[in-house]
Structure 1
Amino acid sequence: MFEKVVGIIREQLSVEDKEITMETSLMKDLEADSLDAVEIIMALEDEFSIEIPDTEAEGFKCIGDIVKFVEANK
C-alpha cells in the first residue's frame, strides 16, 4: 500500500529524486501546496475507489497518515 500511495504522490508532485518515508511531510518535505494536496487526495480517491472527507484530509500530517487511512478504508 505504501508504494502505491508514494507512486501517486511522486506522479502528482514530480518528485522522483526525493526520498519518501512514512514520516515524510507533504507540505514541509515535499513542498506541496494546498492545490497539490487536493489533487493528491483526488488521485487517491480514484485509485482506491474511496471517499476521503475534507476533515480527514486536513488531518494528514505525513505520508504514514495517508497510508493508514487508505488501508483502513479500502
Structure 2
Amino acid sequence: MSEMETKVKQIIAEKLGVSEDKVNPQASFVDDLGADSLDQVELIMAFEDAF
C-alpha cells in the first residue's frame, strides 16, 4: 500500500470513527461505514488539508 493510500485510509477511519480494517476500496461511505452528508463534507475538507 502506498503512503498516500495509507494516509487516505487513516483520514477516513478517523473522521468516520471506524476501524482502519473496515476501510477498503470497495467500502461504501454511507452503506458500509455509516457516513452521512456532513461526514462526507468533512472528509473532503480533510483531504484538501492533507493533500
Alignment identity in percent? 50
Normalised TM-score (structure 1): 0.59
Q: Which structure's CA Rg is the greater one?
A: 1
Unaligned runs of 5+ in 1: 49-74
Normalised TM-score (structure 2): 0.83
Contact 2:13/2:19 (<8 A) preserved = yes
Structure 1 consecutive aligned stretches of length 4 or more whose deviation exceeds 3 Å: none
RMSD: 1.3
Count of aligned residue pairs for this structure pair: 48
Q: Which has the higher contact order (CA 8 A, sep 6+)?
A: 1
- Is the alpha carbon distance of 1:17 and 1:23 closer, same or farther for their aligned partners in structure 2, counting shifts above 3 Å? closer
